[in-house]
Structure 1
């Protein structure tokens, strides 16, 4: 028979699990390395993308899911979801799917659901799963993006710049990125 104190302790553990208790502890040095890397990487990508957009006279120079991609690249550089192929191909493919759905499906709710779903299927097929990329498909539909150029700039270009920044930063700070085949 368990004591009331033990039952309370077990219930608290269970509730704490649902409030982030399943997250591994991260040392403060690693937290600072990640946050600083994400800041530097995003500032570089955003600055270059803004410059390229102004140079080309293009209004869309930013993909909104870039912050989520940065989290994976800088906080979890060893994750398969953060590898260059996943980031670049996943985002680009999803933009293409989202734009196609925005062009072909007249009902936004249907277009959004189909765009995200097909982009996930495509990422499975191309072995480039990248969770923020499903948001790219939604963003294309929500933003009524109808030009396929958007998949190249800003989506593919921003993704490449982020991966390059992540690789340089990770290797300068003692992390390996991208993963190397074994």
Structure 2
């Protein structure tokens, strides 16, 4: 293979995941197992709380994306408790408000996501899956502000607690500690 061909192939492979850092199989298994256990605990607890309260909605769909950050990237600023809890809750509140205030879904959807992002910037709680929460709310025609607190906030808190216990038991400090 010519030098230019190898260079082109290397350039192309960069865009096919070549920019991702290498991760050991032990760390992959640790992250996957943590996400499974954490989500199972959150779902079970939230379902029980929903049944106890007579509430049908006990799950938020973007929790899987939040789990990826909490269990696979626990050191990320976007995986920290404030980012997860405040980002998800704020975005649900924004999505519900957009659902009520903007009748046209083609305007309500981008407004919900954009305003959620703005709110997360202002509150310093950037959490990418939270932008999806605002869209899920509008798409699901969720009009009750209660949804922002249960299941969104409660599920987020439960995920953080599961992530903290699991990560610290498996040698990954979580959440981040402030510098001294």
Q: TM-score, normalised by structure 1?
A: 0.98
Which of residues 46, 51, 57 in structure 2 aligns to 1:49?
A: 46
> Which of residues 159, 164, 170 in structure 2 aligns to 1:167?
164
Q: SS of 1:42's equivalent? A: helix
SS at match of 2:2: helix
Which residue in the other structure is 2:97 paired with? Answer: 100
Which residue does the alignment assign to 2:77? 80
SS at match of 1:135: helix
Equivalent residue, structure 2, for 1:180: 177
- Residues 100-128 of structure 1: CA distance to partner in whole angstroms, max 9, x if unpaired? 00011000110000000000000000000
Distance 2:4 2:159 in 1: 48
Tell me which residue corresponds to 2:128.
Answer: 131
Aligned length: 179
Q: Is 2:59 aligned against 1:62?
A: yes
Measure, in 1, the Cα distance between the counterparts of 2:107 and 2:51.
Answer: 34
Q: State how 1:9-20 maps to structure 2 within 5 Å.
A: 9-20=6-17
What is the match of residue 25 of structure 1? Answer: 22
Consecutive unaligned residues in structure 2, runs of 5 or more? none
CA distance in 1, matches of 2:50, 2:22: 40
Rounded Cα–Cα distance in structure 2 between residues aligned with 1:47 and 1:14: 45
Secondary structure in 1 matching 2:38: helix
Rounded to whole Å, the distance in 2 between the matches of 1:68 and 1:127 is 19
Listed as ranges, the gaps of 5+ residues in structure 1 are none
> Aligned pair 1:34/2:26, yes or no?
no
Alpha-carbon distance between aligned partners in 2 of 1:83 and 1:177, rounded to the nearest angstrom:
8
Flag as ranges the 4+ runs of structure 1 deviating above 4 A. Answer: none
Matched residues in 2 for 1:43 and 1:167: separation? Answer: 15
CA distance in structure 2 between the partners assigned to 1:135 and 1:6 by the alignment: 43
Cα RMSD, aligned residues only: 0.6
- Counterpart in 1 of 2:145? 148
Counterparts of 2:2 and 2:33, CA distance in 1:
43
